[in-house]
Amino acid sequence: MDARSYLFVPGNRAERFDKALASGADAVVLDLEDAVTLADKAPAREAVSRYLVAADDALRSRLVVRINDCATAWFDDDLAMLATARAACVMLPKAESPQTVARLRQACPGIAVLALVESARGILQAEALAHAEGVERLVFGTLDFALDLDLVDDPVAGPLGLDAAASHLAWASRAAGLAAPVAGVTPDVDDVARLRADFARSRAHGFGAKLCIHPRQVAWVHEALQPAEAELDWARRVLAAAAAAPGAVQLDGRMVDRPVVERARRLLQRAGLG
């Protein structure tokens, strides 16, 4: 699933499922984990199951289920529900081992896995997770990772502690041929400047999508991924110059060689123009 935005909705709030899908998010994450209280775990699982069973293939392809992690009492029941309801994609929290991915896939053959990495152990297993059969994307659970490493809760200094781990996930994803990893949530749902700053830092490490916790964040993420008109104009001129002359040419005083041409193509593709 090569989505740009993943919007969470609590699994026990079935009345919000359709609204989340109408938000414009590329994918909607029906959450059975953090957004659901202990008392609501079973009702949430039942609500998600009913929704998946009633969904057609096109709708099911946009739905992701975040289950409870393998150390909890709800993991096996969540897996049984995924298999029965024919879920297409699952987000595996606290992903630290390809063996857990294999266990999940054995219970749910063919299901796509988004491995949510939220700990130092998970980061150190990023390459193995990225190469595990069925894993389609790595996701960075920044809040839990910051808690695991006891990082400072500061909008300026705090992100510094995420940088090395973010790069590691991006390298592992690229080496395994996966889509660019998914950035973690921005908790300040009304702060567009903070979201843009968070995502810009993730983009600088090679991330290509973001988790959202409110519908209004979806449009901000899509906007951040859309190349500026000046970039698109540059890309068009690069491709025109490359087509007009074989080999390396100059444009605006800079050499245009194969990597530059490829970057121009990717910019246009990202804008839906390639």
Domain holding 167: CATH number? Answer: 3.20.20.60
One domain, residues 149 and 256: no
In this structure, what are the phi and psi dihedrals at residue 15, rounded to the nearest 5 degrees?
-70, -15
- pLDDT at position 251 over 90: no
pLDDT score of 83: 97
Q: Which residue has the higher pLDDT, 87 or 152?
A: 87
The tokens for 263 are 């970057």
One domain, residues 242 and 138: no
How far is Cα of residue 169 from the mean position of the Cα atoms in its chain? 12
Helix, strand counts (H, E) of the chain = 13, 10
234, 219 contact by CB (below 8 A): no
One domain, residues 221 and 234: no
pLDDT score of 125: 98
Report the SS3 class of residue 211. strand
Q: Using 50, 70 and 90 to split pLDDT, how confident is the model at 154?
A: confident
What's the average model confidence in pLDDT over 138-164?
89
One domain, residues 64 and 135: yes
Q: Residue 3: which residues within 8 A CB-CB, separation 6 or more?
A: 25, 26, 27, 209
One domain, residues 216 and 256: no
Distance, in Å, from the CA atom of 15 to the CA atom of 198, rounded to the nearest integer, reads: 30
One domain, residues 165 and 240: no
How far is Cα of residue 93 from the mean position of the Cα atoms in its chain? 13
Distance, in Å, from the CA atom of 226 to the CA atom of 205, rounded to the nearest integer, reads: 17
**Amino acid residing at 52:** L
Distance, in Å, from the CA atom of 262 to the CA atom of 274, rounded to the nearest integer, reads: 11
- pLDDT at position 158 over 80: no
Domain count within the chain: 2
The tokens for 214 are 């409110």
Domain containing 251: what range? Answer: 229-270
- In sequence order, what are the beta bridge partners of 135? 113
- Choosing from 189, 206, 225, the residue where a domain stops is 225
One domain, residues 68 and 166: yes
**Amino acid residing at 186:** T
Q: Using 50, 70 and 90 to split pLDDT, how confident is the model at 71?
A: very high
Dihedral, 245, 250, 251, 252 alpha carbons, nearest 10: -160
